[in-house]
Amino acid sequence: MSDALRVVVACGGTGGHIFPAVAVIEQLAELTNGQCTPLFLGSLDRMETRLIPSMGYDYIGMPIEGFRGLTLSTLTLPFKIMRSISIARKAIGRFKPHAVICTGAYISYPAGIAAAREGVPLVVLESNLNPGKSNSRLVPHAAAVVLAFEDSRAFYPAAMQDRLHVLGNPVRTQIDRSTSSHDARTWWGLDPERETVLIFGGSLGARAINTAVEASFDEIASRPWQVLWQTGKGHVCSRPLPENVRMVEFIDNMGAAYAAADVVVSRSGATTIAELGIVAKPAVLVPLPSASTNEQRHNAGVAERHGAAMVLDNDQLDAQLLSTVDGLMNDAVQRTEMARRMGELGRPEAARDVAQLIMDVSSWKGARK
């Protein structure tokens, strides 16, 4: 084995679990002068199977699946869990990592259990206000738990408090305030002088948001502002696109998307909240109602109570989305104040701080920057 810091990372399912992990790995590479070797574990068929190898990282898939209700496939779930734990243990045994990182969701569970059984320090990243189901089961085994919000401490027992570290949610280095709105709008093929609303539903898109946007085409067409609209894969627009709407399937440069925007409409995943804090953009947040522990509602509540965002439920979109956006676009003073308050929630050093924590709790004794 080399003298590099070896880290196993379990993440996947959505960008909200993948990109924070990648952000931490990038910082680990920086802090170790390039002497960090990661191995990623994930599913066999989700977005990480394509995304992680495309970034140049080694990847191993596991047959683990989430619980999808009482179906025939549910009967095989215990076997898939056991098989996935076995794969993770074999990978850890061969790779001999100095630490294992889990970012949540069902994909993390086998790797976290394998780390505990193999005696490898486990670091759990909980990006939401309240812990998810898998992370709740893993934190008793963790050497450290990274929280995004100070209020999250209330969800953990007293015996865990000394292992909790409120460092924020790690965000990729491309998310910053360095790009001007003029340049970003030009990059997207938008009018560089026109105020802009960014609407997106996360890496997979959001049907309810897409439906509400499409239903408002006639009204949007008459507005003085323009829209950058990310739909997710497979969305087919049934009506002609207004001249002031730019529709894209996927955004691979979120930094430029945020820079183009005066207002953001999005789901309230933890990564989105963290990114909004760094770029300091006012937001209309639409929590995903099917989130397993209602975590998106809790996340949105943090921003709303801080005066940084407005919150709409799925069933309010058709009636209130356009009027809510209109209200913000017509009130520059309110937008400025919301942006300031959103910026107060930002933790731009989170990825570096998490990377430093991982090095501190790991068994690695190599040179550090």
pTM score of the predicted model: 0.84
**Which 8-state DSSP code applies to residue 98?**
S
* 263 and 243 in a common domain: yes
* 121 and 200 in a common domain: no
> Does 176 reside within a domain?
no
Confidence of residue 343 (pLDDT cuts 50, 70, 90): very high
Mean pLDDT, residues 104-129 taken together: 95
* 205 and 157 in a common domain: no
* pLDDT of 204 strictly over 70: no
- Give me the domain span that covers residue 208: 181-344
Per-residue pLDDT of 81-112, as tens digits, reads: 999 999 999 999 999 999 999 998 899 999 99
Q: Are strands 283-285 and 5-10 parallel, antiparallel or unpaired?
A: unpaired
Per-residue pLDDT of 2-21, as tens digits, reads: 689 999 999 988 878 899 99
Angle, alpha carbons 155-42-53 (nearest 5°): 130
* 121 and 107 in a common domain: yes
pLDDT at 70: 67
> Does 366 reside within a domain?
no
* 340 and 357 in a common domain: no
* 46 and 132 in a common domain: yes
* 232 and 157 in a common domain: no
Contacts of 263 (CB under 8 A, 6+ apart): 197, 198, 281, 282, 283, 284, 325, 328, 329, 335
* 205 and 337 in a common domain: yes
Average per-residue pLDDT for the chain: 93
* 229 and 161 in a common domain: no
Cα→Cα distances 235→46, 200, 201, 287, 337, Å = 18, 12, 12, 20, 34
Per-residue pLDDT of 139-181, as tens digits, reads: 999 999 999 999 999 999 999 999 999 999 999 877 888 899 9
* 149 and 266 in a common domain: no
Q: CATH number, domain at 51?
A: 3.40.50.2000
* pLDDT of 1 strictly over 60: no
* 223 and 150 in a common domain: no
* pLDDT of 231 strictly over 70: yes
- Number of structural domains (the chain) is 2
* pLDDT of 242 strictly over 80: yes
Confidence of residue 316 (pLDDT cuts 50, 70, 90): very high
pLDDT at 293: 75
* 124 and 74 in a common domain: yes
Amino acid at 84: S
Q: Are strands 99-102 and 58-61 parallel, antiparallel or unpaired?
A: unpaired
pLDDT at 87: 97
Q: Please answer whether residues 37 and 129 qualify as being in contact, where contact means their C-beta atoms are separated by less than 8 angstroms.
A: no
> Does 250 reside within a domain?
yes
